[in-house]
Amino acid sequence: MNFIGNILWVIFGGIFIFFEYLIGGFILCLTIVGIPFGLQCFKFAFVGLAPFGVKITDTSSNTGCLSTIMNIIWLLCGGIWIALTHLFFGILLCITIVGIPFGRQHFKLMNLAFSPFGKSIS
């Protein structure tokens, strides 16, 4: 079922999400300061390409408060707009019964958009 969901996701717009995050990640990686944020965009790109069957989990890392500070910077510099975009499309897709699985994937991406630092994809 995950395979069919991912194929339909790619056909109906997932490929555009993938390329948007991929291009954004490459642009952010052009600067030294933007590299950590670019790497998070790459994380978004691969989840955005095939979100069905992907689990997002919190990682227990030794970074201390660094991931919290990076999440705050991420949220203030664009993460809130990414999250609101995924919220809008999630609600829009959940209006129809057929779109509910796709809306749930947008909600998963919205959760990742709020705090991508300190999360892993499995």
Question: Are 116 and 44 in contact, with CB atoms under 8 Å apart?
Answer: yes
Nearest C-alpha neighbor of 111 from the set 70, 76, 82, 91: 82
Q: Is the pLDDT of residue 14 over 90?
A: no
Is the pLDDT assigned to residue 60 strictly greater than 80?
no
- pTM confidence score: 0.86
For the chain, where are the alpha helices, taking DSSP H only?
A: 2-9, 15-28, 35-49, 66-74, 80-94, 100-114
Grouping H, G, I as helix, E, B as strand and the rest as coil, residue 56 is strand
- 3 state SS of 58: strand
Average pLDDT rounded to a whole number, residues 105-121: 89
- Residue 107's pLDDT band (cuts 50, 70, 90): very high
